[in-house]
Structure formats: C-alpha cells, structure tokens
Structure 1
C-alpha cells in the first residue's frame, strides 16, 4: 500500500488549537491530476499522541465523483474501484464530527452526535497512518470500517467493498488481509474500551468562535478535471 506524502504525524512542530488545515484522502498511487477527498477542519488538539480535529456542518468539501456527478457510492459495486472519476464538490452533512487520529495508527475515530447533542456513536475509518506538511494532513482510505454504537456494540462495515477492491485491483489479497487484521486490532481496543473511546471525547463541543474553513485554491484551479480512473 503506497505511502502518503509529507512527514509522519506525531512530531513537532504541532498545530495550535483553532488552526485550520486540510484533511486529505488520496488513493494509493495518486497523481496530481487526479481527484481527491479534501475536508477543511479545525484543530482541537495536536501533540505526540494524536491529532484531533473538528469538521463543522456546512463545511465545503471536495470529493471524487463520476463525470455525470454521481458519487462513488452511487456506482455499481462491480466498477466502484475502476470507474472514471473527476473532482467534485459538496458540503459536510449533519451535525459535524470530531476526528481523533492516534499517532502511527492505521485508522481514525470519528465521533457523531444526534440533533439533541446526545452521542450517536463512533465510526472507525481504516486508513493509512497520517503524514503532513505545513497546511495538510494526508491519508489513504482503506475501504473497511468499524462502527461502534453508543452502547459499545460494534460491527464491521463495507466488507463487500473490500472484496471488490481486491477483485478490481485496488489491493492485493495480502493487503486486504492486513486491513482485516487492523480491523481486528480496533475491535480489541473497543472491547477493552481503550483510548480514545474512554477519553471523554463524547462531551466535546466546538468553540462557537471558530470560523467555517474553506477549500484550498489548488482544487478550485483544477476542478472539474478531465476524469481519471479511481
């Protein structure tokens, strides 16, 4: 699985709380003429242990889409990882979410809330360990996820998509097995109720003075693009 650019997260210099950065997902082997996911976020905490960031509702985001505007999940499964994509744009949904990316771990934990402020649950996004440069944090989504309910029940999500990713050449069978092993490691942490689940992040509330961040200019210059295979 191809490494992401920049230096590894976890070392100084760190971003101060309130700093706005871009959280980017790029496919393995990504090149500059290809679309990517870009989420403008506000830093909550950044240190040797983890990067914690907030994406507010209504935040403008970038994402790969089909040339006709359909989102990836609207593509037939048999072409999900081979179909042509171009750069698309949208806004972040719901109530926003908090993201905790422990240093060196191949996943991040996203915390979601109901409209009344009560905890909806945690979503563990399996992804490449984060790297960064001055204004960006980079990763590559690894398809498989683990959903954790507010009552601590958990289940894997998108196992069928991981199988399709192997069939369509995104991953080898060995890489998929490594991703499944990462999911098992996450499940063990959940069952032991280890960090970051036990750390009280469900009580987090964003600073109301934080402005809504915007997308970087490089995306605006290149969109909508000519379309490349995913």
Structure 2
C-alpha cells in the first residue's frame, strides 16, 4: 500500500452521474493503514456542480437536484476549514467543523463510496450517498437529508433497495459513534493546521469535466 506524505496536496473528488464532479484540493495531514486525514483550508479554490443559473443544487428541490442540468463552477471554500477523515474500510468520511472563533462545532458523517485513489494524479475519488449524520460536541446524533435520499429514489439516482442499504449503513455509523470508535476517539477536534501550509492551487476545469 502506498501512502501520501503529510503536506502533500491532493484532490478530494465527489463524482456523480452528470459527469460534473465536485473537486476540493486539500492538504494531507496523515495517511496510513487507519485511513486518510486531509485539511480543506478556508479560501481554497475549488470546483463544484451548480445549476445552470449558478444556484446551488438544493435550490432545485429534493428531486430536481438530481435531474436538473448542471455546470461546473469555479469557487472558493467560504466557510471555516474542515478536517476530513476517511477511515479505512468504511463507506463514509467524518468531517470536523469549527466556528469562526475556533471553537469546535461538531462532527459530520458523510455517507459515501469507499475511496479510489490515483496516486500519480494525487486524487481520491468517491460518490456521495446523500444521507448524512450530524453529531454535536455533546455527542447528540441528528439525521440529515432524508428527504433528499427520497428524492434521489424518485429521480432514479438510487433504487429503493440501494436507498435501504444506505440507511442501513447510516445505522452502522451510528453504532460506531455510540461506541466512540476511530476516528471519533482520536481527538482531532483539538488539531490545528500548520501556519506555513500554503493554499493548494486551483483544480483543472478541463480535466475535471
């Protein structure tokens, strides 16, 4: 197994059926047998899929966001930084969020395919499963985007059987959260990025699609 060294710039990609991937350049914090940990810094240039009029996909509604034509848009990450952990062998990643004052806000479990890596291109690619979980600092669990998963079924993005599998996977993630396993127990919430890390370069629009 090959791993990326800390400080390496990679592209974290969410592919989709419209061939308009979300591409987020990130910096590797740690990469080993436990999984990949990478940092999305504030102000990072990125590519994202939007509706043809430039609005976010969610403006099309829980069905239209999967059926309406979309285009790729150059943008930057406007929020505070996100630390993303893709645990080895898990069909989800765990995102760590902080407030503008530096306080830890919570964990976000993004259900997704296991990642496929392209070491030469320094890319890791997955596909989003729509359903997500939000965990507050006091470990209260909230389910998110259940309406969008229903919309994905209505739009033909997923079969009902596949949606049921995704929901079952979310329950598996809940079990990990309640047991407070890796990466939740790893105390990444106290991590801070090195001050000398530069912003990654903008992703290639042509190569992205």
Place the TM-score, normalised by the shorter chain, in its bin: over 0.9
- Match for 1:19 among 8, 13, 36? 8
In the TM superposition, residue 76 of structure 1 has moved relative to its aligned partner by: 2.6
Worse-superposed segment, 90-99 or 144-153: 90-99
In the TM superposition, residue 215 of structure 1 has moved relative to its aligned partner by: 2.4
In the TM superposition, residue 45 of structure 1 has moved relative to its aligned partner by: 0.4
Query: Could you say if the C-alpha distance between residues 222 and 99 of structure 1 is closer, same or farther in structure 2, counting changes exceeding 3 Å?
Result: closer
| Counterparts of 2:197 and 2:98, CA distance in 1 | 19
Structure 2 residues not aligned, in runs of 5+ = none
Are 2:138 and 1:121 equivalent residues in the alignment?
A: no
SS of the residue corresponding to residue 70 of structure 1 reads coil
In the TM superposition, residue 49 of structure 1 has moved relative to its aligned partner by: 1.1
Q: Which has the higher contact order (CA 8 A, sep 6+)?
A: 1
Aligned to 1:196: 183
In the TM superposition, residue 27 of structure 1 has moved relative to its aligned partner by: 1.1
| Counterparts of 2:79 and 2:150, CA distance in 1 | 29
Q: Deviations over 1:173-223 (max 9, x none)?
A: 110011001100111111111111111100110011111002233x1x378
Structure 1 residues not aligned, in runs of 5+ = 1-11, 226-230
Q: Residues 104 and 130 of structure 1 are in contact (CA less than 8 Å); yes or no, is this contact kept in structure 2?
A: no
Question: Cα RMSD (Å) of the superposition?
Answer: 1.4
| Counterparts of 1:76 and 1:155, CA distance in 2 | 21
State how many pairs are aligned: 207
Aligned to 1:7: none
TM-score, normalised to structure 2, is 0.95
Aligned to 1:89: 74
Are 2:138 and 1:151 equivalent residues in the alignment?
A: yes
| Counterparts of 1:49 and 1:118, CA distance in 2 | 26
TM-score, normalised to structure 1, is 0.86
